[in-house]
Structure formats: C-alpha cells, structure tokens
Amino acid sequence: MDQKKVIIIGAGPSGSIAAALLQKKGHQAIILEREVFPRFSIGESLLPQCMAFIEEAGMLQAVIEAGFQLKTGADFLCGDKRSEFYFADKFSPGFETTFQVQRDRFDALLATEAQAQGTVIQWQHQVLGADFSGAKPVLTVCDEQKATYQTEADFVLDASGFGRVLPRLLNLESPTNFPVRQALFTHIEDRISGADYDRKQISIVIHPKMADVWYWLIPFSNGRCSLGIVGEPRLFDGFADNQQAFHALVAEEPNLSALLANAVYDTPINGIKGYSANVSALHGKGYALLGNAGEFLDPVFSSGVTIAMKSASLAADVLDRQFNGQAIDWQRDYAQPLQKGVDTFRTFVTSWYEGGLQDVIFYNQQQPNIKAMICSILAGYAWDERNPYVKNSQNRLNTLVELCRITA
C-alpha cells in the first residue's frame, strides 16, 4: 500500500493524538496549525479515561514526566454540603488518576511527541478553504508569510476546535440544545494554606443562590490555580467589565472566598461565550470532524479533552482500516460509537443544570455501588456499556434522581 497522506487541521489534543496514531499505523500525518505553540487554551482538568488515549499514542511517559498536578477526583461544594468522588472508587476498569494541566505546556508537549513520531507540523498555517468535490480533498492555506497555497491529501481530519473550520466552510453547523452560557476565568497565585485542602481534586462549587451558576477551581502543581465561573450571559449584566463581574461573583461564594482569602490576582480575566456547538454530520466524503470541531457540550464535567482524544482514537482506527481496503461506514464505525459517550455526558450535563444530578451528587445516603457507577462517568468512562448509567443513561439517571428526591 502507498503511504497515505492525512492532513489534520489544528494541533490541539485531538489533532496531535490523531497524528501520532496515524504515524504509528504507517501513514503520513501533516498538521496545519494557525498559531505557534505554546499558546493559551482553556480546558485544563483532564479525566482518567483520556490517559488511555495518551498511552495508545505513545505519549504516556512524556506526560507523566512533565510535572503536571496529579488529579485523583472531584470535590463538589454547595454551601455547607460537600461530596467527594475519588476516581479510584469507580466502577469501570482503567486509569484511576490523571492530571490538571496548563494547556499551553500540555498541548505543546503532545505536539512535540507527535513530531517525534514523524508528524510534520506547519506552524502558522491557517486553513481558509476546502474542496471535497474532486478525487482527493484540496485545502487552501495561508502560510506564515501570508502567502496562499493549495495542498492535496488522501483524507482530512478537522481538529480545529472552536475554529470549526469545516463546519463553517461546509455549512455543517447545527443548533445545540443547550442555552447560551458564558465563562469568565483567570489564573491566580492561590496561596491556599488550609490543611484539609487537597490539590489533587478539582473543586466544582455551586453558587449559594443560583443552582445553574457554578465555579471551577483547578489547582496546578506550581502554586497556581485556574479559577472560572459559568452562567447564562444575564449573570454578567450590570457590571462595568469582566474584571468587576468576576471579583463580585467570586466574593458571593463563601467557600471560595475563604479558600482564596490570600490569593493574588495577577492575570487578566478572560471570557468565552456561546461555546456549546453541534454539527449536522461528523463526516463526509474525504473528511471527518474531531473533538470540538464536531460537538462541544459544556465544561462542567471536564469532558472536552477526553471526547477530543476518543474521537482521534476512533477516527485513526477507522481511517487506517479504510486505507487498508476495508468497507467503512463512517456513521456506523465512527459517529455512532463516539456519540454513545457524548450522549452519556449530555444526559449528565442536562441533569446537572436541571438540578437532578446535583441532588444525586449531594444525596446523603449514597450506595457505594451506585456511586461507583456515577464516579466512572465523572472519570470519563462514558463509553463503558457495562455501566448501566452509560448503557441506559437517561432512564437510569432519571430513576436515581427520583429516588434521591423521595428519600432525601
């Protein structure tokens, strides 16, 4: 078989993992990335499930040795209610820990690892156009000198994240069922000194008065944290600017206020709005969409990078089989298996904002076996159909919510 050339748009986690996997299978992966790395990205708390894809791509040792903050679980807080989930207690087999990562460093590391495996990365090459009408896909690209050129491939994987290159160019954008939400976030020197504070957990903190408003606190290994707040845009109305809104809203939450009493806010407040997105199709002749270029749900369960890597792993496998002459049905072999886990997360995200999942999380008579199944999904094992909360997520979760509410 001739070596096949796969162009990947974007060097985020989905792009680098897909590239490394394709190189391992004997194909030539070329990434076109519009930025130079390291560059900032939001999405810093990983899930244990994604370690399996990092391992599959041959990058596990490099990630372990990079000195990122170990993550062992999630700590949910709502006023004086607290509920901790330790990934080691999960139902599904697999990695029990992961990391909380500064994405500039993490994404650069994955890209370097992909390069070490033979991937060619063209930095500051922005994809502007795509034509799938001929025998092979042709992309129009603007290079670092601002010169435009065309390039041909055997297949294109769109890993452009919120750039959403092919969804925009091919009119694949489709409405999401989630309302528009907005996040404000920053990095701080946290100076947290409390002896009972565990840097190995992400904290998800619910606003004392508005159950659909929540904060994340993601500690890094260098004494700094990522701190963010999520709500519908009207939450941020009436403030002079993001800076004022952020500080006022953090001050409204007593747990965070106490924890961060000595924090140094030394970085501008950043924001992103209307990030939930969907597409009408995850594939077409000559291309497939990975990670956020396909669907993005919501940040609350830190599922974005895990879904991005799962899509890379599935697509690399399906594409390799296609190159080897197997009859491939991208809907059956790629979109549907990917969708299974995305739908599990969708059920959980929807229930979180409706309040049902919050009642489950803070339920005071939790059964260890049920908690283990919920914990599995919080650890990213959303494709493990041995877990009833994956196989039949909607019905099982609705029943559990009812039970918790009746007996609370």
Interface residues with ligand FAD (CB under 6 A) are: 9-15, 32-35, 41-46, 126-127, 159-163, 165, 183, 272, 275, 290-293, 296, 299, 302, 304-306, 308
Nearer to ligand FAD, 15 or 401 (CB): 15
Nearer to ligand FAD, 41 or 69 (CB): 41
- For the bound state, the minimum distance from the C-beta of residue 254 to ligand FAD, rounded and expressed in Å, comes to 23
Alpha helices (runs of H) in 117-210, residue ranges in sequence order:
165-169
| Cα–Cα dist 126/160, whole Å | 10
Nearer to ligand FAD, 86 or 296 (CB): 296
| Cα–Cα dist 381/340, whole Å | 11
- For the bound state, the minimum distance from the C-beta of residue 362 to ligand FAD, rounded and expressed in Å, comes to 21
- For the bound state, the minimum distance from the C-beta of residue 72 to ligand FAD, rounded and expressed in Å, comes to 15
Nearer to ligand FAD, 165 or 390 (CB): 165
Ramachandran sector of residue 380 (left: φ over 0; alpha: ψ -120 to 50; beta: rest): left
| Cα–Cα dist 118/354, whole Å | 47
**Coil/strand/helix, residue 25:** coil
Alpha helices (runs of H) in 80-212, residue ranges in sequence order:
103-116, 165-169
Nearer to ligand FAD, 19 or 263 (CB): 19
- For the bound state, the minimum distance from the C-beta of residue 216 to ligand FAD, rounded and expressed in Å, comes to 7
- For the bound state, the minimum distance from the C-beta of residue 103 to ligand FAD, rounded and expressed in Å, comes to 7
- For the bound state, the minimum distance from the C-beta of residue 104 to ligand FAD, rounded and expressed in Å, comes to 10
Q: Is 209 exposed, middle or buried (0-12, 13-18, 19+ CB in 10 A)?
A: exposed
Query: Which positions ≥6 away from 126 have C-beta within 8 Å?
Result: 32, 34, 141, 142
Within a 10 A sphere around the Cβ of 43, how many other Cβ atoms? 22
Nearer to ligand FAD, 18 or 401 (CB): 18
